Structure 1
Amino acid sequence: MPSNNYYNKHLKENANALRKRMTKAEACLWKYVLRAKMLEGHQFRRQRPIDKYIVDFICLELKLIIEVDGVTHEHGEIALEDNVRQERLEELGFKVIRFTDDEVLTQINRVRESILGSIEELENSGK
């Protein structure tokens, strides 16, 4: 298991609160795709404090972050903040992939296949 140097204990309470009130899309992705090592045996955690952010889902072993974005993330200031956030997480060595709520809720099998593709890519790159 890689070092967890990026964990921010100061955001732990906020992360716990977010974990308890996940969106419908986040809950579906967790229940049907990510929990219990359902993806090639990789362990994902939900609502994890990394650096100064709380990421939706993370596999520390692969340094893979999955974000699920609602409609408010599509335009304007929140979209710009998402870009800054993603750049910072990538600077820390993470791969960030994003899905919309609608994609998760209406195309969960395609989302699962996309995540599996990212896992394969990361495994093959030796990360």
Structure 2
Amino acid sequence: MKYDFIPYDKNLVSRARELRNNQTREEKFFWSNILKSEEFRHLTFLRQKPIGNFIMDFYCAKLLLGIEIDGDIHDANRDKERDYILKKKFGITVIRYRNEDIINKTENVKQNLLKSIPPLIKGG
């Protein structure tokens, strides 16, 4: 299903704003060193974007792409279910990166993300 506007729970707006104002070290690093790099300048990403009943760490509407930066406390089963719902209901593909990879394997993360974009542009 393709939306011109993806609905979201209005009650999440204040929480999303709070999360934007209190980003983790890894989220700040990802935003400034990867998403704001030359390779991604043609894309617009939003931080802590409410979508449905969830808040995405980063979201690109043009690609229907959500990016999550996962720390140690993430529940893999819950995340898998959430990703499935976002794909099924809104057509959003979710890519996940671990905190330690953002800091310690930055170039690998950037290259992985770059490889993921062309199929999304083609609708894959």
Does TM-score exceed 0.5, indicating one fold? yes
Question: Which residue is equivalent to 1:104?
Answer: 102
CA contact (8 A) 1:70 1:100 kept: yes
Q: TM-score, normalised by structure 2?
A: 0.88
Q: Assess, with a 3 A threshold, how the Cα gap between structure 1 residues 8 and 34 changes in structure 2: closer, same or farther.
A: farther
Question: How large is the RMSD of aligned CA atoms in angstroms?
Answer: 1.8
Unaligned 5+ segments in structure 2 are none
Unmatched runs of 5 consecutive residues or more in structure 1? none
Q: Which contiguous aligned blocks of 4+ residues in structure 1 show a shift greater than 4 angstroms?
A: none
Q: Give, in angstroms, the shift of residue 4 of structure 1.
A: 2.2
Task: Compute the TM-score of the two structures, normalised by the length of structure 1.
Answer: 0.86
Q: Is the 8 A contact 1:37 1:43 kept in 2?
A: no
The percentage of aligned residue pairs carrying the same residue is 33
Q: Report if aligned partners of 2:44, 2:60 keep a CA contact under 8 Å in 1.
A: yes
For residue 31 of structure 1, what is the aligned residue in structure 2? Answer: 32
Q: In the comparison of the two structures, how many residue pairs are matched?
A: 121
In structure 1, the partner of 2:76 is 79
Write the mapping of 1:1-127 to structure 2, written as runs, cut at 5 A: 3-35=4-36, 39=40, 41-73=42-74, 78-91=75-88, 92-123=90-121, 125-126=122-123
